[in-house]
């Protein structure tokens, strides 16, 4: 996984991906509801905003482009306002919209009414019947003209009439000619088995319907662990990942269960389009060389980010890099710190922040950091750079370099993440606090709220300042003074002589 994130960050190679599938326009009418209408016990929604997002294959393409791929999105829409909106959204994301607009069809539009964070209802419009023979021919011609130009092809089937037997037969012929990575996300994977996909991604409900399974509450994961042979017979996929919502995913390599990946907990998930994020990220991770289990782990991480958003799910490369930072202790920049804060808040975690030089780590530091961590779920520590310490404490400090000080702090279980700070114009952690927006800002008891320059900023951002008592007589300065006062052995003294 580490290799994938390094490559994603470096952007040394951009992969070309073709997404083929059902195009949907997702519309969110958002507002507030404070009363019922007189005609029935139904809420009256006072609409404040109207938001649009590409759904279906469009969202798959959107996710791939957000993570740095060069994307073409191919599908069929009506020749109407919905089609214009979809193409506009794709173009904004620099996605090539290879869209066939059919006058005799209506673009699929899903409109959601949302009061606050509560979905009230959804209504759908558009044509869902199979495309005509003429449209089949146009689509096949487009596929044949460009299929071999892409590193990967993703098929996104929402049962909206695009994938007819004739279209699938054409894809089968192209599959024999070209060895692209092929990902399939479909409600019924059986019709794509002849393509022998590189990966297929059903959810647990789709698997239950395919295999005629029933399982009780809390028994889903256990019941699906033994379906590898039957699932492989139906999908023909080299890898099948069965997504399980908040229970993660089961990864099958051919007919054998390879892993059960876990999911990141989210307080108020908005799951529309999470599967699109998953298959997009899995595809890109595989192109970068990730093995199936690692690709599934990364895809689950991306889906966990996407469902924290209040419209159709998507994930950017920057957000994915921030999520990977959760796995390690060192945070490299302000942007990653800000995204980490968002991820932890969305997961319901209470964020504690403190800062200091931590030059010679001693028992006072350890107790202080342990007590700080107990105030919340994660403890993020800002640590002054070497130049910052020299400005604050003189040229004979620090005793230990920044790299050494960070390494020692990282060894403490109380510390979740560490980020260096300090500029010539500002040696305070105010920039970190603004980006992170901690729930609690902790400092030692040698400060007061009146003498703490960051206190007002923390409170403005909705946080709380907590002062912790220090261990008397324990400080880096006192330790240095004690060492200096002792008579040292002559430089010529050698042990054992």
Catalytically annotated residues? 276
Contact criterion met (CB below 8 Å) for 433 and 458: yes
Residue 17 host element (H or E):
strand 16-21
End-to-end alpha-carbon separation of the chain, Å?
A: 51
DSSP assignment letter at 399 = S
Instruction: Determine the Cα–Cα distance for residues 254 and 229; give it in Å rounded to an integer.
Output: 8
Instruction: Determine the Cα–Cα distance for residues 187 and 199; give it in Å rounded to an integer.
Output: 14
Instruction: Determine the Cα–Cα distance for residues 223 and 254; give it in Å rounded to an integer.
Output: 18
Residues 6+ apart with CB under 8 A from 93: 61, 62, 65, 66
User: In degrees rounded to 5, what are phi and psi of residue 22?
Assistant: -75, 125
- Give the residue among 117, 126, 154 at the shortest CA–CA distance from 311: 117
261 φ/ψ sector (left φ>0, alpha ψ -120 to 50, else beta)? beta
Q: Give bridge partners of residue 199 from the DSSP assignment.
A: 183, 239
- Give the residue among 274, 208, 283, 204 at the shortest CA–CA distance from 239: 283
Give the three-state DSSP class for 397: coil
Please give the structure tokens belonging to residue 326.
Answer: 């959760």
Instruction: Determine the Cα–Cα distance for residues 414 and 371; give it in Å rounded to an integer.
Output: 9
Handedness of CA 294, 300, 302, 305 (dihedral sign): negative
Contact criterion met (CB below 8 Å) for 16 and 147: no
**Torsion angle defined by CA atoms of residues 27, 31, 33 and 39, in that order, rounded to the nearest 10 degrees:** -50
- Give the residue among 206, 214, 254 at the shortest CA–CA distance from 230: 254
Please give the structure tokens belonging to residue 86.
Answer: 């979809």
Please give the structure tokens belonging to residue 335.
Answer: 């942007």
Instruction: Please give the C-alpha separations between residue 190 and each of 113, 193, 210, 331, 449, in angstroms, as whole numbers.
Output: 34, 5, 8, 45, 66
Instruction: Determine the Cα–Cα distance for residues 124 and 112; give it in Å rounded to an integer.
Output: 9
Contact criterion met (CB below 8 Å) for 7 and 284: no
Contact criterion met (CB below 8 Å) for 364 and 471: yes
- Give the residue among 431, 418, 422, 433 at the shortest CA–CA distance from 465: 433
């Amino acid at each position: 996984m580490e290799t994938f994130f390094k490559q994603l960050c470096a952007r040394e190679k951009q992969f070309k991906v073709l997404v083929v599938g059902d195009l949907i326009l997702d519309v969110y009418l958002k507002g507030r509801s404070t009363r019922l209408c007189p005609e029935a016990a139904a809420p009256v929604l006072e609409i404040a905003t109207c938001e649009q997002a590409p759904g279906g294959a469009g969202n798959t393409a959107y996710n791939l482009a957000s993570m740095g791929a060069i994307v073409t999105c191919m599908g069929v829409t009506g020749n109407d306002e919905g089609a214009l909106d979809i193409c506009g959204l794709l173009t904004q994301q620099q996605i090539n919209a290879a869209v066939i607009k059919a006058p005799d069809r209506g673009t699929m539009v899903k409109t959601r009414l949302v009061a606050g964070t509560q979905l009230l209802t959804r209504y759908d419009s558009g044509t869902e019947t199979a495309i005509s023979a003429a449209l089949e021919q146009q689509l096949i011609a487009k596929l044949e003209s460009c299929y071999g130009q892409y590193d990967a092809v993703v098929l996104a089937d929402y049962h909206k009439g695009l994938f007819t037997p004739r279209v699938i037969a054409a894809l089968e012929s192209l599959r024999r000619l070209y060895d692209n990575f092929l990902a399939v996300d479909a409600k019924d994977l059986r019709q794509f088995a002849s393509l022998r996909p590189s990966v297929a991604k059903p959810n647990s409900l789709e698997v239950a319907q395919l295999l005629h399974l029933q399982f009780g509450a809390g028994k889903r994961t256990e019941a699906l662990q033994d379906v590898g042979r039957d699932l492989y017979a139906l999908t023909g996929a080299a890898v099948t990942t069965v997504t399980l919502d908040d229970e993660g995913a089961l990864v099958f390599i051919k007919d054998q269960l390879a892993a059960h990946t876990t999911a990141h907990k989210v307080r108020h998930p908005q799951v529309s389009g999470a599967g699109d994020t998953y298959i997009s990220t899995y595809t890109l991770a595989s192109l970068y060389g990730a093995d199936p289990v690692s690709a599934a782990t990364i895809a689950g991480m991306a889906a966990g980010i996407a469902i924290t958003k209040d419209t159709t799910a998507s994930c950017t490369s920057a957000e994915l890099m921030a999520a990977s930072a959760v796995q390690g202790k060192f945070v490299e920049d302000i942007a990653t710190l800000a995204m980490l804060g968002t991820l932890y808040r969305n997961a319901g975690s209470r964020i504690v922040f403190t800062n200091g030089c931590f030059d010679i780590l001693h028992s006072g530091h350890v107790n202080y950091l342990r007590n700080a961590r107990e105030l919340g779920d994660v403890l993020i520590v800002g640590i002054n750079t070497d130049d910052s310490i020299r400005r604050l404490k003189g040229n004979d400090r620090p005793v230990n370099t920044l790299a050494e000080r960070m390494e020692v702090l990282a060894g403490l279980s109380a510390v979740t993440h560490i980020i260096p700070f300090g500029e010539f114009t500002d040696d305070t952690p105010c920039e970190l606090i603004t980006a992170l927006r901690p729930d609690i800002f902790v400092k030692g008891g040698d400060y007061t709220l009146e003498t703490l320059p960051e206190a007002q900023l923390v409170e403005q951002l909705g946080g709380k300042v907590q002062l912790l008592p220090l261990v008397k007589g324990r400080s880096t300065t006192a330790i240095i003074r004690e060492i200096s006062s002792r008579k040292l052995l002559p430089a010529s003294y050698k042990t054992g002589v």
